[in-house]
Chain A
Amino acid sequence: MNALLRKEMRLSALLLTYLFLGFAVMTLLPGYPILCGVFFITLGIFQSFQSAREANDIVFSALLPVAKRDVVKGKYQFVLLIELCGFAIMAVLTIIRMTVLADAPVYRQNALMTANPFFLGMALLLFGLFNTIFLGGFFKTAYKLGKPFVTYIIVTFAVIGAAEALHHFPGLEALNAFGFDHFGLQLALLAAGALCFIALTVLSYKKACENFERIDL
């Protein structure tokens, strides 16, 4: 582990961020919009950013023997670590729902989105949106958190609403496939989500580095 990531985990992060990874278990909740688990994980990350700002974390980091843009790298590494841990938990629970719990009535009689690869793809899209809207927005100033987070909340709940609604439209029922039904399509949707996550994260990281170089701390 590099020194910057260690610094993020030990000095900048709140315990709450790690505890909020537990919201990934919402993947198992029947009759609940399970994508909200992603929002709660990112809410945990937001709490760490808020606490780090009050601790003068950005200036402290910029004074360390690192290039200024490495401060951005450290933050992105930490956020990606939390997101990928959350995603890994959701993926394991999704596999459980697709296999041993595939025929459980409580999941079969569920009007809301089921846990399947499409759900995981949407989760990755939401994490990518967080990286673009919140992280990218934060590094425009390195202190303003409210506006980027509120924007992220609006967008993320609009996307969750759309994802929940889609499979109710005629012809889109396959989005809510149970077990390994429509597996090829489901995997393609997961791959599309992963691509969106990578593209959104990489683009926002590059832009955040550029913006941060221009900021006066």
Chain B
Amino acid sequence: MNAAEVQNLCKTYPAFRLKEVSFSLEGGKITGFIGRNGAGKTTTIKAMLNLIHTDSGDITYFGLPLSGHEKEIKQRIGYSTGTVSWYPRKTIREIVDVTKTFYSGWDGEAYRKYMELFGLDETKKPIELSEGMKVKFNLMLALSHRAEILILDEPTSGLDPFSRDELLEVFRTLKEHGVTILFSTHITSDLERCADNIIYISRGEIRAACSKEEFLREHGKPEETLEEIFLRLEREARL
């Protein structure tokens, strides 16, 4: 069953256009969202979170349209983006104390577990965190309210290899518990290790949306890694 569906999403900017973007997120699976910088990954994700006003298209979660069910859907999804710093001069405790009041499913135990796992200190302020720790702080916020779908925009950017490995293990564990993950990245080696499905976007258009095996079979050559396929496809698209 699909946990979320995006259908015919269009958005026009002066210098960029998202063209009829359609894909679905299979429940309980990790879907890698790949594409080079400026391909439309973040625009698509922002549309999925109702942060931007689209020209057309439909977005549904759990069979419910985002439009009209925004509050209840947002209770059930989590979002994290790279190194954006929320309230840089407030302590993590202050930010969490306010944030948790919005979520009926806030899980104090999960919160403490991820704080410990990520080595975060409640008394620290985002301005005092390194870029990698900011990523972990954002992830901790997304993971602490029992989200059924996690939308992660470049969650491993800026992390050291050990932290990335830890994080991928967290994603695999969450998947085992039925959580659906959309994982946008250009670090394709991370997807090789954990993704079940691949969505490939280039110049605002979806070029592939299928299982990882199917993607490797249809687009890859023998012995090619996901990164090599991705680079080759991008080069071919430029010609």
Q: Which residues of A contact B (CB under 8 A)?
A: 3, 6-7, 10-11, 54-57, 59-60, 62-68, 213-217
Contacts and interface: CB of A to CB of B under 8 A. Distances in A.
Contacts of A62: 49-51
B87 A6 contact: no
B53 A216 contact: yes
Interface residues of B, number: 27
A216 B49 CA distance: 11
A6 B70 contact: no
A214 B98 CA distance: 27
A103 B6 CA distance: 72
A180 B79 CA distance: 59
A213 B71 contact: no
A60 B101 contact: no
B51 A11 contact: no
Contacts of B70: 66-68
B23 interface: no
Interface stretch (B88-96, B184-192, B195-203, B205-213): B88-96
Contact of A64 (B84, B88, B99): B99
A65 B71 contact: yes
Nearest to A59: B51
A48 to B, nearest CB: 12
Given A3-B102, A56-B85, A65-B103, A11 B94 contact: yes
Given A67-B71, A68-B50, A217-B46, A56 B95 contact: no
Nearest to B53: A214
A10 B98 contact: yes
A11 B74 CA distance: 20
A11 B95 contact: yes
Interface string B52-68: 11000000000000000
A65 B141 CA distance: 13
14 contacts: A3-B101, A7-B101, A10-B94, A11-B94, A11-B95, A55-B86, A55-B87, A55-B90, A56-B86, A63-B51, A64-B74, A64-B102, A66-B70, A216-B52
B143 to A, nearest CB: 14
Contact of B79 (A63, A213, A214): A63
B79 A55 contact: no
